[in-house]
Amino acid sequence: MLRLIIFAMLFVLSGIETYTGKVIKITDGDTIVVLNRSKEQIKIRLEGIDCPESHQEYGEKAKQAVAGLCFGKEVEIRKSGTDRYGRTLAFIYVGDVCVNKQLIIQGMAWHYKKYNKDPELARLEAQAKQNKVGLWSQPYPVAPWDFRR
């Protein structure tokens, strides 16, 4: 409990907006919809990660992984910004578990280095690669940003 209070204080001091909501929809591996306390639906793009596209290998598995981690659950949203499509960018927590980090650990997402410089996400991706977890078990995984081209 003390840890959560300290985290909350740090986020207030850093200007990062935090709130809670219930995950009501999984759009894909890195996009969810949350119903906040005001009963508003908020589309959230998971900060710092990029999952395979739906028609890409591991795309459906990534969607299932994020669903397993947070669908139907009350989550803490730590908003870091808004993307060019108007979606909220955020780190999502179920208790002490960061969904964004878990997807990288499970080999279901790349660290999106173009838009996020978090060294922890980079380290987790390197570890997943080294251990050939999830999409890293493929001989030549294609990053979603390359697949979209």
Sequence-ordered alpha helix ranges (H) in the chain: 2-14, 59-70, 99-105, 119-130, 144-147
CA distances 113 to 31, 38, 89, 96, 145, Å, are 17, 33, 15, 24, 11
One of 45, 47, 76, 125 is an active-site residue; which one? 45
For residue 123, indicate whether it is catalytic. no
Q: Is 19 exposed, middle or buried (0-12, 13-18, 19+ CB in 10 A)?
A: middle
| Active-site residue, selected from the candidate residues 47, 76, 87, 125 | 87
Beta bridge partners of 81: 89
- Whether 76 is catalytic: no
Helices H / strands E in the chain, number of each: 5, 8
Reply yes or no on whether 53 is catalytic: yes
Alpha carbons 115 and 21: distance in angstroms, whole number = 25
List 47, 53, 76, 125, catalytic entry: 53
User: Which residues are designated catalytic?
Assistant: 45, 53, 87
